[in-house]
């Protein structure tokens, strides 16, 4: 408690303090010496979208290119091997984004000349809206806007064992390449056996680069499992698919049920479904399985619960942003986020797989469909009618309220 010394002492004390303050202001330097370490860490971990420029482009398979970036203004944010970044692009009238796993290692992003890479696989027949754009048009020195690294697909020593079997399909190899590099550098402490499914050697992404890591580091092993009947096999390669027998063979003690192996899976949706069946068949407990998100089903009309009769319907969505209202066309068979982006309405998104919630918005009116597999909404979101627009399809005219960007 402050002791009152008496009126005169208090008044003269206040005058002395005021004088000292004025003196301090007069002598103060122009630069801001105030450092806020908590905000500094928060900003480093969760930066606003930032600009990067392309510094290197390499072909890493006949259909895939690795793009390496450096930050334009600031240093690169911290990330974990296995994280992804969301790349923003403008193609025609569409402003959109796609997530790409970071395929370089976290240690390479540190320091003044730090960099990070993504590896983009060209889309096949009629697909590849963004991937083909990046693959065909991105040049050295081009700049792009990128969202902070994100995702839950990384090794966590409190949770995961030090014996990891990574199961990859197609471009799902990219986060494992980042992990393998970090292990070889000595900054991640676990053993990684990658079972990598491809059609043939021609389709393997980062093959040469993976071979090199395997040669340098005995904690990383890569087994290619090739499904094309005519695929030529190297001595260690396996033919067929990544079946439960293959998974068992490369698990610690060949005991997937009771052993310690943690399984990390990254690949296209059909592969997830198949591998999940194989792991269930081996009675692997759920706590030892980690799955990366990898988009939504290409054809929503084939998903259980979707009312097939509205498959080709077109609806109107009224989009409320503050006091502004726009009415846009949307199709029953495309996620609401795609309809927004086709009309040039910017909405934040990271995973585009229903998981992260960055594209969350409130439904004011209307019916919609969310496939069970990608419905990651919280209980409160369901109760108060919030949706993740990347995994939600309109089933009637709708009215939604989105955040102004």
Ligand X SMILES: Cc1cc2nc3c(=O)[nH]c(=O)nc-3n(C[C@H](O)[C@H](O)[C@H](O)COP(=O)(O)OP(=O)(O)OC[C@H]3O[C@@H](n4cnc5c(N)ncnc54)[C@H](O)[C@@H]3O)c2cc1C
Name the site residues for ligand X (rule: CB under 6 A): 84, 94, 96, 98-101, 118-121, 123, 127-131, 171, 174, 292-295, 334, 338, 341-342, 351-353
Nearer to ligand X, 248 or 388 (CB): 388
Q: Would you state the structure tokens that stand for residue 214, as one six-digit string?
A: 């395997």
CB of 76 to ligand X, least distance (A): 17
Nearer to ligand X, 245 or 334 (CB): 334
Nearer to ligand X, 120 or 398 (CB): 120
Rounded (5°) CA angle 44-48-51 = 100
Nearer to ligand X, 174 or 389 (CB): 174
Nearer to ligand X, 44 or 269 (CB): 269
Q: Is 198 helix (H, G, I), strand (E, B) or coil?
A: strand
- Tell me whether strands 191-198 and 116-121 are parallel, antiparallel or unpaired: unpaired
CB 196 within 8 A of CB 234: no
CB of 126 to ligand X, least distance (A): 8
CB of 119 to ligand X, least distance (A): 5
Helix (H) or strand (E) holding 195: strand 191-198
CB of 365 to ligand X, least distance (A): 24
CB 386 within 8 A of CB 400: no
Nearer to ligand X, 66 or 231 (CB): 66
CB of 322 to ligand X, least distance (A): 23
CA–CA gap between residue 238 and residue 227 (Å, rounded): 9
CB of 96 to ligand X, least distance (A): 5
CB of 161 to ligand X, least distance (A): 23
CB 134 within 8 A of CB 100: no
C-alpha Rg value of the chain to the nearest Å: 26
Nearer to ligand X, 117 or 251 (CB): 117
Q: What is the DSSP string of 342-362?
A: HTT-----S-SSSSS-TTEEE
Nearer to ligand X, 246 or 330 (CB): 330
Nearer to ligand X, 220 or 337 (CB): 337
CB of 256 to ligand X, least distance (A): 25
Nearest to 350 by CA among 101, 162, 144, 182: 101
Nearer to ligand X, 325 or 334 (CB): 334
Q: What are phi and psi of 285, to 5 degrees?
A: -65, 145
CA–CA gap between residue 342 and residue 328 (Å, rounded): 9
Q: Would you state the structure tokens that stand for residue 116, as one six-digit string?
A: 């990070």
Neighbours of 78 (CB within 10 A): 15
Side-chain-facing half-sphere of 219: CA atoms under 13 Å? 16
* Residue 214 burial (10 A CB sphere; 0-12, 13-18, 19+): middle
CA–CA gap between residue 45 and residue 42 (Å, rounded): 5
CB of 168 to ligand X, least distance (A): 11
Side-chain-facing half-sphere of 276: CA atoms under 13 Å? 13
CB of 327 to ligand X, least distance (A): 18
């Amino acid at each position: 408690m402050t002791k009152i010394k008496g009126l005169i002492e208090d008044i003269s004390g206040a005058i002395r303090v005021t004088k000292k303050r004025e003196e301090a202001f007069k002598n103060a330097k122009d630069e801001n010496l105030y450092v806020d370490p908590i905000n500094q860490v928060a900003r480093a971990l969760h930066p606003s979208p930032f600009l990067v420029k392309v510094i290197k482009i390499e072909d890493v398979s006949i259909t895939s290119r690795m793009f390496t970036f450096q930050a334009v203004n600031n240093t690169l944010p911290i990330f974990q091997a296995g994280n992804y970044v969301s790349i923003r692009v403008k193609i025609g009238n569409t402003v959109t984004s796609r997530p790409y796993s970071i395929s370089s290692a976290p240690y390479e992003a540190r320091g003044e000349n730090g960099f990070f890479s993504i590896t983009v696989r060209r889309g096949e027949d009629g697909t590849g809206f963004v991937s083909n754009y990046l693959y065909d048009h991105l040049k050295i020195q081009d700049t792009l806007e990128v969202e902070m690294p994100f995702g839950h697909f990384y090794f966590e020593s409190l949770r995961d064992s030090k014996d990891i079997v990574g199961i990859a399909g197609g471009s799902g190899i990219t986060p494992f390449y980042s992990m393998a590099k970090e292990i070889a550098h000595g900054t991640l402490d676990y053993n990684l056996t990658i079972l990598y499914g491809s059609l043939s050697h021609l389709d393997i992404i980062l093959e040469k680069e993976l071979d090199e890591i395997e040669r340098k580091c005995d904690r990383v092993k890569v087994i290619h499992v090739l499904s094309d009947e005519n695929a030529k096999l190297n001595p260690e390669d396996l033919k067929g698919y990544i079946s439960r027998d293959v998974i068992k063979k490369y698990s610690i003690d060949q005991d997937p049920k009771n052993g310690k192996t943690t399984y990390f899976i990254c690949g296209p949706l059909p592969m997830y479904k198949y591998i999940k069946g194989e792991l269930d068949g081996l009675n692997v407990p759920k706590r030892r399985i980690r799955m990366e998100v990898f988009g939504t089903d290409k054809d929503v009309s084939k998903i259980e619960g979707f009312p097939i009769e509205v498959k080709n319907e077109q609806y109107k969505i009224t989009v409320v942003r503050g006091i502004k209202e726009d009415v846009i066309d949307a199709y029953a068979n495309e996620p609401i986020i795609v309809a927004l982006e086709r009309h040039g309405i910017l909405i934040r998104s990271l995973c585009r797989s229903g998981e992260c919630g960055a594209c969350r918005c409130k439904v004011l009116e209307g019916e919609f469909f969310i496939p069970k597999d990608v419905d990651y909404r919280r209980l409160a979101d369901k109760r108060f009618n919030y949706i993740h627009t990347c995994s939600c399809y309109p089933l009637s005219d709708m009215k939604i309220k989105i955040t102004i960007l």
